Amino acid sequence: MANTAVIGLQWGDEAKGKIVDILTENHDIVVRYQGGANAGHTVVMGGQTFKLSLIPSGIFRSGVQCVIANGVVVHPKTLLVEIEALQARGVRVGNNLTVSSRAHVILPWHVEEDRILNDCPTGEAIGTTLRGIGPCYRDKIGRSHAVRVGDFYESGWRERIIAVAEAKRRMLEPLGVSADNPALDAEAICREYSGYADRLRPFVADTTQFLLDAVDSGKRILFEGAQGALLDIDHGTFPYVTGSNSSGVGISAGSGVPGRHIHKVLGVVKAYCTRVGGGPFPTEQDNDVGQLIRDRGNEYGTVTRRPRRCGWFDAVAARYTARLSGVDALAVMLLDVLSALPEIRICTAYELDGERTERFPDHVERLRRVKPIYESLPGWQREIREARRLTDLPTNARKYLDRLAEVVGRPVEIVSVGPDREQTMFAV
Ligand code: IMP
């Protein structure tokens, strides 16, 4: 009974990488199962900072097998750069990394499509990471223009790339992409991707079968979610979401492991909220409080360096995503960021069209109309980065955590007060 999932319950960037890194100690396999190089996971170890976007954070532990499963969209160049950067810093990346032959591949036209469709939206821009994520998933669902990792090891892949490039040219030319755009140069793309395919070959395998075998033999699997549940393509703040099921519901489809084998789900939240890109954010603080959180939390995107929008903890949203993801317990991250504030607020309900509700709206326009109803708690106004046990925390910080647990409806199991592994406290 030891398979665990780590899911972000907000809009991503909840510092899941740190939690995954800590939990890998008790797991044999770490699996990334959705998203792609839009994710940015930071792991700080012994004063060294590592940034990962595709490789699971388990890569730093010897004896742990890392899997990039079928649900991930792989940008081969980013993956190879990441592998080589880790190797250059002495981190072993070899047969401890496996990439699914079923994973879909991001091609240059996907990045071009992401740019164009982000530029000319029908309303507020989604503000994607411009990594080609949505267009690649669109082709996966559309099927006829999709390319998977395993395709490169079968005959006929060049003809397929050439045919898809031609179809893309016909689609993209009317949108202003010229025929000589390098993103449509089929010959050059075949040369480039054939090189990537050769270099990635040792890593490629049927990860679905591998994981099912691992389940049968009682191996302990850790599922590493990317982004956050509010960005889930089906259950998030659509259309201001990512292209995959980033809540807990995505684990099985993205890995091939049935839900009955996921024994524990840890929901990761920040002690406040952030969001990158467009879309409603009810508790956003576009003021001094937001700026203080941004400065103290270094709230700038790992992938794009965009300043993150910051605000109070939204318990209506977290309660919804905790239920949606089957969360057993919470990890509360970046609690130290709030130490400077004399007063801290939690949104416990919304007012929607004059009525109080504790339900998260199912339409983005209704979410835009909600007014947060806040509860105010006194701050602790003392640095807490040195705390190593929950009893080291000031009373008001513990009261804040207790109230978060109460309003979300899940116990707090882990509390983090800084980026390093040592700055982590466990309730159990
Ligand atoms: P995409 O995933 O690049 O298509 O972007 C869609 C939305 O998800 C945008 O608002 C992005 O800012 C957001 N997003 C994607 N990945 C992350 C992430 O890892 N952290 C936070 N936001 C993300």
249-296: pLDDT as tens digits: 999 999 999 999 999 999 999 999 999 988 999 999 999 999 999 999
Residue 1 has pLDDT above 60, yes or no: no
The rounded distance, in Å, linking the Cα atoms of 258 and 171 is 38
- Which atom of ligand 1 lies closest to the CA of 244? 2
Structure tokens at 143: 């099927």
* Ligand 1 pocket, mutate which of 227, 299, 309 (most atoms under 8 A from CB): 227
Q: Helix (H, G, I), strand (E, B), or coil: what is residue 218?
A: coil
Helices 186-200, 76-88: inter-axial angle, 10-degree rounding: 40
The rounded distance, in Å, linking the Cα atoms of 370 and 352 is 5
CB neighbours (10 Å) of residue 32? 32
* Annotated catalytic residue within 21, 27, 28, 41: 41
- Which atom of ligand 1 lies closest to the CA of 39? 19
End-to-end CA distance of the chain: 17
CA nearest ligand 1 atom 19, residue: 39
- Which atom of ligand 1 lies closest to the CA of 40? 19
Q: Return the CA Rg of the chain.
A: 22
Residue 120 has pLDDT above 60, yes or no: no
48-61: pLDDT as tens digits: 888 889 999 889 89
- Which atom of ligand 1 lies closest to the CA of 128? 5
Q: What percent of the chain has pLDDT over 90?
A: 86
Q: Find out whether the beta carbon of 12 lies less than 6 Å from any atom of ligand 1.
A: yes
Q: Find out whether the beta carbon of 246 lies less than 6 Å from any atom of ligand 1.
A: no
Q: Which of 329, 304, 320 is CA-nearest to residue 127?
A: 304
The rounded distance, in Å, linking the Cα atoms of 82 and 55 is 8
CA of 243 to the centre of ligand 1 (A): 9
Q: Helix (H, G, I), strand (E, B), or coil: what is residue 401?
A: helix
Q: Are 311 and 297 in contact (CB under 8 A)?
A: no
Report, as an integer, the average pLDDT of 67-85: 97
Report, as an integer, the average pLDDT of 105-124: 85
301 compared with 385, residue with greater pLDDT: 385
Q: What are the backbone dihedrals phi and psi of residue 273, each rounded to the nearest 5 degrees, phi first?
A: -125, 150
CA of 242 to the centre of ligand 1 (A): 6
The rounded distance, in Å, linking the Cα atoms of 394 and 337 is 14
Structure tokens at 317: 């949203």
CA of 358 to the centre of ligand 1 (A): 26
Q: Find out whether the beta carbon of 38 lies less than 6 Å from any atom of ligand 1.
A: yes
Tell me, yes or no, if 13 is annotated catalytic.
Answer: yes
The rounded distance, in Å, linking the Cα atoms of 18 and 255 is 21
Q: Going along 353-392, which residue ranges are E strands?
A: 355-357, 371-378
Per-residue CA distances from 140 to 72, 143, 148 (Å): 11, 5, 9
The rounded distance, in Å, linking the Cα atoms of 110 and 136 is 6
CA of 172 to the centre of ligand 1 (A): 23
Q: Find out whether the beta carbon of 67 lies less than 6 Å from any atom of ligand 1.
A: no
CA nearest ligand 1 atom 11, residue: 128
The rounded distance, in Å, linking the Cα atoms of 273 and 271 is 7
192-216: pLDDT as tens digits: 999 999 999 999 999 999 999 999 9
Please classify residue 242 by burial: count the beta carbons closer than 10 Å to its beta carbon, then call 0-12 exposed, 13-18 middle and 19+ buried.
buried
